[in-house]
Amino acid sequence: MPGDGFLLLDSTAVPRGRRADWLAGELRAAIAGGALRAGSRLPASRVLAGELGFARNTVAEAYRRLAEEALVVPRVGVGTVVAAAGPQRAPRASATAAGQVLPSRPPRRTAPDPIDLAAGVPELTAFPRAAWLRAEREVLAEASRRTLGYQDPAGAPALREALSAWLARSRGVVAEPGGVIVTAGVTGALALLAGALLGEGHDSVALEDPGATGNRLILEYWMPRVEPVPVDADGLVVEELRRRDTDVVLVTPAHQYPSGVVLAPGRRRELVAWADERARRLIVEDDYDAEYRYDRRPVRALQPLAPERVAYTSSLSKTLAPALRLGWLVPPARLVEQLVERQWASGLGSPALPQLALARLLDTGALERHLRAMRARHRLRRDAAVAAVRAQVPGVRVHGVAAGLHLLLELPDGVDDARVAASARELGVLVQPLSAQRHRPGPPGLIVHYAAEHPARFEQAIAMIARVLRPHRGGRFPTSNRPVAGADAGM
Ligand SMILES: Cc1ncc(COP(=O)(O)O)c(C=O)c1O
């Protein structure tokens, strides 16, 4: 219907002999004005002709003219698509107000992609697209009307069942399927817990220092007070936690972020004893990258030591992709009902179809196969990363090599790590300074994530960082480099 369809085109007053001209002009203007963006598909000529009341040939003629001008491209099996780079015209000249003709400006050079060692993501190019697509296709093929309707806000039963079995198998986590809540990643679990804790009258949470800035920002958003607690070579210093006026603590026991230390067995017992002293105390366990262990045996989760004291959470962000926003929370049984109610009240839970696809990957063993492959790939990247650091910045101490997706480079005292990171950014390398992850002052450092970038790019980035650090060298680094393999000691 004229005026009612594509681009709101109104063809009523267009004379018969001028229709192709008119349509080509309208489409040109829509492309130039941005209403039709690169990659947009034009309607099939038959459909648009019907809409405008034109002959099909008229529309085809308008499309042909635009194709000649390289504004659109016909694609077999797809249709006519707006061209990506716009028309390939001869260089244009532009006229100034005084009538002087100037050559058009050369296209601006776009800056090369920065090398990103700041993002804590896995090798995303290895995302198992085929397996995920297959799982989604199977889920959709079998989805009943019920599957497509409103779902349990706690999560799809099939996924909660699969997670309960997988977490027991891989992490020793104790949870019935009914005790698993599907969340929007660890972040979603923290936000959910924070709401419940506020509801119970808590006004603060203790966090590891140094710790993950992302977690801190989320908890600062929700809670009136966060209390940093120092970390040493055995993990969170529970003695210090006892000096804080708080009944909730967030820890990363299997692989402390960012130091890489493991919460020692004695500390685990101390922490649980702290929680046992008051009924309202809670330990939140962020098991964010537990799947990646290279030179040491997997460390069990803390939750099985005290399922009634620990709220366990993890996600797919380090194993598949953060974009999926899929994670899980296993809270103490006393909290399950109210947390599920909060999920219901804040959006009726997570989208069901991706949950079912994940359940399928777990049930068929595809996720575990993928993880085995990822572990091997990430180990190679870890080895290359350590070698690059040793070669380019000898003397720097490297922490956290045995597990995870990042290294911590300890810099000599007195180096301003934030300035190092800022200079690296100017050279096109993104890296996190350790000082940004801590509350109290401490040794400077850089957190470098090695999984996402190709080893050649990682090596390039380390060379840039070495350049930035050069003025600080000259005997100021510790002269003996500890063996890096297994050098997971604290800071
Ligand atoms: C310590 C820590 N916990 C959790 C996460 C993952 O958060 P989410 O599951 O919300 O993506 C990250 C991501 O970088 C992290 O560094």
> If you take atom 4 of ligand 1, which residue's CA is the nearest one?
288
Q: Is residue 20 part of a domain?
A: yes
Residues 403 and 260: beta-carbon distance below 8 Å = yes
Residues 122 and 319: beta-carbon distance below 8 Å = yes
User: Model confidence at 470, in pLDDT bands (50, 70, 90)?
Assistant: confident
Q: Decide whether any atom of ligand 1 lies within 6 Å of the 328 Cβ.
A: no
Residue 93 makes CB contacts below 8 A (sequence gap 6+) with 101, 102, 103, 104
Residues 158 and 139: beta-carbon distance below 8 Å = no
Matching residue, tokens 């959006």: 347
- DSSP for 251-282, please give it: E-TTS-TTT-PPPPHHHHHHHHHHHHTSTT-E
For 316-403, list the strands marked E by DSSP.
327-330, 397-399
Q: Indicate whether 328 and 206 sit together in one domain.
A: yes
Residues 444 and 416: beta-carbon distance below 8 Å = yes
Whole-number Å distance between alpha carbons of 438 and 436: 6
Residue 123 makes CB contacts below 8 A (sequence gap 6+) with 374, 377, 378, 381, 451, 452
Q: Where is pLDDT greater, at 168 or 479?
A: 168
Radius of gyration in angstroms for the set of CA atoms belonging to the chain, rounded to a whole number: 29
Q: Decide whether any atom of ligand 1 lies within 6 Å of the 246 Cβ.
A: no
Q: Indicate whether 355 and 417 sit together in one domain.
A: no
Q: Indicate whether 353 and 401 sit together in one domain.
A: no
Q: Decide whether any atom of ligand 1 lies within 6 Å of the 186 Cβ.
A: yes
Q: Indicate whether 308 and 450 sit together in one domain.
A: no
Q: Indicate whether 355 and 396 sit together in one domain.
A: no
Candidates 135, 191, 471; CA nearest to 350 is 191
Q: Where is pLDDT greater, at 62 or 103?
A: 62
Whole-number Å distance between alpha carbons of 9 and 52: 8
Proportion of the chain above pLDDT 70, given as a percent:
90
Q: Indicate whether 252 and 349 sit together in one domain.
A: yes
Helices (H), 9-109: 19-33, 45-52, 56-68
Query: How many whole angstroms from 186 Cα to the centroid of ligand 1?
Result: 6
Candidates 279, 294, 278; CA nearest to 407 is 294
Q: Decide whether any atom of ligand 1 lies within 6 Å of the 212 Cβ.
A: yes
Order the strands of the 225-232 sheet from edge to edge: 181-183, 327-330, 310-315, 282-286, 248-251, 204-209, 225-232, 235-236
Residues 60 and 22: beta-carbon distance below 8 Å = no
Distance (Å) of CA 208 to CA 4, 25, 237, 255, 356: 59, 62, 9, 12, 34
Candidates 123, 119, 407; CA nearest to 255 is 407
> If you take atom 1 of ligand 1, which residue's CA is the nearest one?
212
Classify residue 482 by its DSSP letter.
Answer: P
Classify residue 403 by its DSSP letter.
Answer: B
Would the pLDDT of 147 be above 80? Answer: yes
Domain boundary pick from 310, 338, 365: 365
Tokens coding 481: 């480099």
CATH number of the structural domain spanning residue 173: 3.40.640.10
The burial of 127, by beta-carbon neighbours within 10 Å (0-12 exposed, 13-18 middle, 19 or more buried), is given as: middle
Q: Indicate whether 340 and 377 sit together in one domain.
A: no
Q: Indicate whether 361 and 437 sit together in one domain.
A: no
Three-state DSSP class for residue 248: strand
pLDDT, residue 102, reads 45
Neighbour tally for 483: CB within 10 Å: 9
Domain extent at residue 33:
6-88
Q: From the alpha carbon of 211, which atom of ligand 1 is closest?
A: 1
Q: Is residue 107 part of a domain?
A: no
> If you take atom 12 of ligand 1, which residue's CA is the nearest one?
288
CATH number of the structural domain spanning residue 378: 3.90.1150.10
Q: From the alpha carbon of 315, which atom of ligand 1 is closest?
A: 9
Q: Indicate whether 65 and 193 sit together in one domain.
A: no
Neighbour tally for 279: CB within 10 Å: 10
- Half-sphere exposure of residue 429: CA atoms within 13 angstroms, side-chain side: 27
Q: Is residue 94 part of a domain?
A: no
User: Model confidence at 490, in pLDDT bands (50, 70, 90)?
Assistant: very low
Would the pLDDT of 308 be above 90? Answer: yes
Domain boundary pick from 66, 88, 110: 88
pLDDT, residue 479, reads 33
Q: Decide whether any atom of ligand 1 lies within 6 Å of the 327 Cβ.
A: yes
Would the pLDDT of 184 be above 60? Answer: yes
Would the pLDDT of 276 be above 70? Answer: yes
Q: Indicate whether 416 and 466 sit together in one domain.
A: yes
User: Model confidence at 85, in pLDDT bands (50, 70, 90)?
Assistant: low
Q: Is residue 112 part of a domain?
A: no
Residues 79, 48, 74: CA angle, nearest 5 degrees: 20
Would the pLDDT of 96 be above 60? Answer: no
pLDDT, residue 35, reads 83
Q: Indicate whether 351 and 382 sit together in one domain.
A: no
Q: Indicate whether 350 and 374 sit together in one domain.
A: no
Q: Is residue 489 part of a domain?
A: no
Residue 47 makes CB contacts below 8 A (sequence gap 6+) with none
Q: Is residue 39 part of a domain?
A: yes
Matching residue, tokens 């990171």: 421
Candidates 413, 424, 475; CA nearest to 447 is 424
Q: Is residue 463 part of a domain?
A: yes
Q: Dump pLDDT digits (tens) for 11-30.
A: 888 988 899 999 999 999 88
- Half-sphere exposure of residue 474: CA atoms within 13 angstroms, side-chain side: 4
Classify residue 17 by its DSSP letter.
Answer: G
User: Model confidence at 113, in pLDDT bands (50, 70, 90)?
Assistant: confident
Q: Decide whether any atom of ligand 1 lies within 6 Å of the 317 Cβ.
A: yes
Residues 22 and 11: beta-carbon distance below 8 Å = yes
Q: Dump pLDDT digits (tens) for 341-380.
A: 999 999 999 999 999 999 999 999 999 999 999 999 999 9
Domain boundary pick from 303, 338, 365: 365
Would the pLDDT of 491 be above 50? Answer: no
Query: How many whole angstroms from 462 Cα to the centroid of ligand 1?
Result: 24
Number of domains into which the chain is organized: 3
Q: Decide whether any atom of ligand 1 lies within 6 Å of the 187 Cβ.
A: yes
Tokens coding 2: 């004229």
Q: Give pTM, 2 decimals.
A: 0.78
Q: Decide whether any atom of ligand 1 lies within 6 Å of the 322 Cβ.
A: yes
Whole-number Å distance between alpha carbons of 230 and 465: 28
CATH number of the structural domain spanning residue 34: 1.10.10.10
Tokens coding 416: 């301003």
pLDDT, residue 89, reads 44
pLDDT, residue 474, reads 52
Q: Is residue 223 part of a domain?
A: yes
Candidates 213, 192, 281; CA nearest to 244 is 281
Classify residue 38 by its DSSP letter.
Answer: T
